């Protein structure tokens, strides 16, 4: 059983569509991070959220931390082929760091 469950696991969409990726847990996290990883490369940090209810925007990406700090979402507006990659949430709870199960996104031109 994974502490951080992401959904969907795989997502294939057309360029220009919107999408949301979810990261859920039954545990409370003091912070959550989102990474994007392109094939053959290491994960690149996109954002860190620390306050319940916090919303952060990074161009077409919107990140939200749940009020209870048990879940997070990533919304991408008007997806582009350059958004293709593995999206990972990760966070700290109980003095341990956990990665989510991952969402593999493919944006078709």
For other proteins, the binding residues (CB under 8 A) are: 30-31, 33, 35, 40-45, 48, 86, 88, 92, 95-97, 99-102, 104
The CA distance from 100 to 23, in Å, is 7
Nearer to other proteins among residue 25 and residue 33 (C-beta) = 33
Nearer to other proteins among residue 66 and residue 102 (C-beta) = 102
Tokens, residue 45: 């940090």
Smallest distance, other proteins to C-beta of residue 100, A = 6
Smallest distance, other proteins to C-beta of residue 77, A = 24
Smallest distance, other proteins to C-beta of residue 2, A = 8
At residue 82, φ and ψ (nearest 5 deg) are -70, -10
Smallest distance, other proteins to C-beta of residue 58, A = 15
User: Where are the strands (E) in the chain, listed by range?
Assistant: 5-7, 10-14, 19-24, 31-37, 44-49, 55-58, 61-65, 71-76, 85-93, 96-99, 103-108
Nearer to other proteins among residue 16 and residue 52 (C-beta) = 52
At residue 52, φ and ψ (nearest 5 deg) are -55, 130
């Amino acid at each position: 059983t994974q502490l951080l469950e992401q959904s969907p696991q795989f997502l294939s969409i057309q360029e220009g569509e919107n999408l949301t990726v979810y990261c859920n847990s039954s545990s409370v996290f003091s912070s959550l991070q989102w990474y994007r990883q392109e094939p053959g490369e290491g994960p690149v940090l996109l954002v860190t959220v620390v306050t319940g209810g916090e919303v952060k925007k990074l161009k077409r990406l919107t990140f939200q931390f749940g009020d209870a700090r048990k879940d997070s979402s990533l919304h991408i507006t008007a997806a582009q082929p350059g958004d293709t990659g593995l999206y990972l949430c990760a966070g700290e709870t109980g003095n341990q760091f956990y990665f989510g199960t991952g969402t593999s996104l493919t944006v078709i031109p």
